[in-house]
Structures are given as structure tokens and as C-alpha cells.
Amino acid sequence: MSKLTWLNGLPVEEAQAEFLRCCGSTRWAEGMARARPFVSQAAVYTEADWLWSQTGPEDWREAMTHHPRIGDISKLREKYKTTATWSSQEQRGVQEASEEVLQGLADGNREYEARFGFIFLVCATGKSAGEMLALLRERMNNEPEAELRIAAGEQAKITRIRLEKLLTSP
């Protein structure tokens, strides 16, 4: 059975739980579960993008609460068990970082959260810790509303990657 057939056949609550692994917005996950059955993977991605475009700041902030801080590997295992493997893979660039860069990320994350009221969110896949730290520092200069929109865009990228993993991993 294909992963798409499996996803289409899940009870609503189980489908919502699978979609929540991809994006922590309850409203978005409920919409995805209701939109089934999907005729193709492309249809899943199109619906995901459309539903995300219909969300707003409350949904974005909720989704952000489902992410560990960049570089906080211990929290990955503890709090985010349902997405820990994915998050760990996405943050692979942090694992080889120097102590200076890791400390910069820790300090920067605290400053960022104090300034904006939510964690620094970046699609970490393929980025080194140094690149993420540079992005964090650059984005500290944004106005809060603009930064929230940027973070929501990063969530959309993460959601796409996680949907791909959901539909293709064994």
C-alpha cells in the first residue's frame, strides 16, 4: 500500500495527528484531514500551501510551539518525541558547530524570543549552524510583524519537507 493510500485511509483523528507532525497548527492539520482523500502527492502539497495561506498569526504562533530551539538537541528528545527524528535531521548542521557558534545560537535565541515573543524559526535543512546564526542576527533587525511573516514562511518550507518525509519514508 502506498503512503498516500495509507494517509487517505486513516481515521480523522489519526490523520490530524500525522499532519500535526508536519505542522503544529491545529487549524491547518484539521483542514488537511478534512481535505482527504488526496489524488496525488502534488495534491497534498497544493492543499497544504493553500490551507497555510488561510491561516494567521495565532496559527503561526501555535505551529512555532511545536519546534525546539535551533541547536537545542536535548529538548528534541524530551519534548518533541513525535518529530524528534525529523528535527534532528533538519538541524544536522548544528551537530558539527563550534562551541562559539553554539553559544551564539543559544544567546541569540534568547534575545530573539525576548524581542519577538516566539522562537527563532528557520528551515534548517541544508544550513550550517553558522548560516543559521547569521540569519538569526540579520532577522533581529526586522519589525515584529514582518518577522512573524518571515517565520510563517519558514514554517511553510518546513511543513513541505515534513510532508515529503511523511509520504515517502518507510
CATH number at residue 76: 1.10.3330.10
Q: How far apart are CA 11 and CA 21, in angstroms?
A: 16
Residue 164 in any domain: the answer is no
Decide if 135 is inside a domain. yes
Helices then strands, each counted (H, E), the chain: 10, 0
Structural domains counted in the chain: 1
Determine contact, residues 130/164, Cβ cutoff 8 Å. Answer: no
What range does the domain containing 149 cover?
63-154
Of residues 88 and 132, more confidently modeled: 132
- Top pLDDT among 70 and 118 is at 118
C-alpha to C-alpha distance for 138 and 115, rounded to whole angstroms:
13
Task: Give the pTM.
Answer: 0.84
Residue 80: predicted pLDDT? 36
Nearest to 124 by CA among 57, 63, 71: 71
Which pLDDT does position 71 carry in this prediction? 63
4 part of a folded domain: no
> Is 102 within a domain?
yes
Residue 139 within a domain = yes
| Helices 26-35 & 57-64 angle (0-180, nearest 10) | 100
Q: Is residue 133 part of a domain?
A: yes
Q: Is residue 8 part of a domain?
A: no
| Torsion sign, CA atoms 91, 156, 112, 25 | negative
In-domain check, residue 113: yes
Selected catalytic residue, list 67, 127, 139, 160: 67
> For this structure, is 66 an active site residue?
no
